[in-house]
Amino acid sequence: MTEAEADHSAREDAGNGDEDRGGAGTAERIHPPIGRISDALSFRLVRLVAINERSGGRWSRRVFGLSLNEWRVMGLAHELAPAKAARIGKMLQMDKGQVSRIVQTLVEKGYLVPRPSARDARATILELTETGRALHDRVLAYAAMRNEIVVSALSREECATFMRLLEKVTAYNEDLLERAETGA
C-alpha cells in the first residue's frame, strides 16, 4: 500500500473520506504529488524538527543544563499544572518509562516534585519547585527569542497562518491516531 493509499484509508477509517472535501466521491488530492521522499509533508516536518532539535539541543544543554525533553516535560508541567505525568507523556508521544526517567532526572536536579494524585492513586502529579519555576521562566524567554529566529523568514501573517494550519493538521492526526489505537 502506498503512503497515499494508506492516508486515504486512514481518512475513511476516521469518517473523513472524500465526501468531506465536497468531492461527491471524487478522489481529489490535497497533498502535492510525491515523486520522491523529500516531497512528502511528513518528511519535511521531520526534517524541520531535526534541524530545530539539533540547534535547540545545543543551546538548551549549554545555557541551561537541560536536554530538550527535560525542558519539554518542565514546560508542560508548568502549562498543565496540576500536570499528570501520563498527560505529559501523551502530549509528547513518550512512553511511561521515558517520562519516568526524565521526571527522575528533573527531581534529582531539584526542578520537579512528583506526588500521588488525590483523585487517582495510580496517577502522578508533577509540580515545579521554586527553582524549577525560575528556570522555566528563563528557558521560556530564551525559547521565545529562538522561535522568533526560526520564523524570521515569514511575515507575521504567514506565521499566524502556519501556526493555525499546523495546529489543525496536528489535531486531525491526533484524532486519527486515537481512533487507530482504540479501534474506533
Residue 81, in any domain of the structure: yes
Per residue in 66-99, pLDDT (tens digit) is 999 999 999 999 999 989 999 999 999 999 999 9
As for how many domains the chain has, the answer is 1
Strand, helix or coil for residue 113: strand
Where does residue 126 rank: exposed (0-12), middle (13-18), buried (19+ CB within 10 A)? buried
83-84: strand order across its sheet = 83-84, 124-128, 112-116
Reported pTM: 0.77
User: Is residue 124 within 8 Å of 85, Cβ to Cβ?
Assistant: yes
Identify whether 80 is part of a domain. yes
pLDDT tens digits for range 32-48:
999 999 999 999 999 99
CATH number, domain containing residue 127: 1.10.10.10
Q: Residue 19 domain-assigned?
A: no
* pLDDT, position 136: 98
Question: What is the extent of the structural domain holding 84?
Answer: 64-150
Q: Does 91 reside within a domain? A: yes
Please tell me the distance from the alpha carbon of residue 175 to that of residue 16, in angstroms, as a whole number.
11
Residue 35 placed within a domain: no
